[in-house]
Amino acid sequence: MEKQSDSLGQQDKAQGRPVMVLARLEPTNVHFESAKKLLDDWKLELKKISACLNVDVICCVPEQIAWIEHWDSKASLDLFNKEQLPFSPFLSALFENSRAVPTRYIYRKLF
């Protein structure tokens, strides 16, 4: 039983550590400018959320737009994903402006 409680303790610690989310979309040729505007609006929206510490654009070319969202904890990210993201107009706009399914997942650094 001790090992199970240790793993639960590690999960609690992981919930409190900062996390990064890697997100990307593949704009259609006719929607590249709209996708860039959408990214700017998304960054402004995330700035309003205190748990989102920063958004870094890492790629912005017609074939792909990618960014990294810095969150203060996984718990905050999970709460945002559960309570705010599904009701955001940005979610449908991401799909409308992308030729493939937009992705957004926790980025793990390899050391």
Give residue-wise pLDDT tens across range 32-69. Answer: 999 999 999 999 999 999 999 999 999 999 999 999 99
Tell me the whole-structure pTM to 2 decimals: 0.79
DSSP 72: S
pLDDT of residue 8: 39
Q: How many Cα atoms are found within 13 Å in the side-chain-facing hemisphere of 103?
A: 9
pLDDT of residue 86: 87
Q: Is the separation of the CB atoms in 51 and 80 below 8 Å?
A: yes
pLDDT of residue 53: 96
Query: Kind of pairing, strands 52-61 and 19-25?
Result: unpaired
As a whole-number percent, the residues of the chain with pLDDT over 90 amount to: 56
Q: If 0-12 CB within 10 Å is exposed, 13-18 middle and 19+ buried, where does residue 97 land?
A: buried
Instruction: Decide if pLDDT at 24 tops 70.
Output: yes
Rounded to the nearest integer, the mean pLDDT of the chain is 84
For residue 42, how many other CB atoms are within 10 A of its CB?
A: 19
Residue 102 CA to residue 17 CA, distance in Å, equals: 25
CATH architecture of 19-107: 2-Layer Sandwich (3.30)
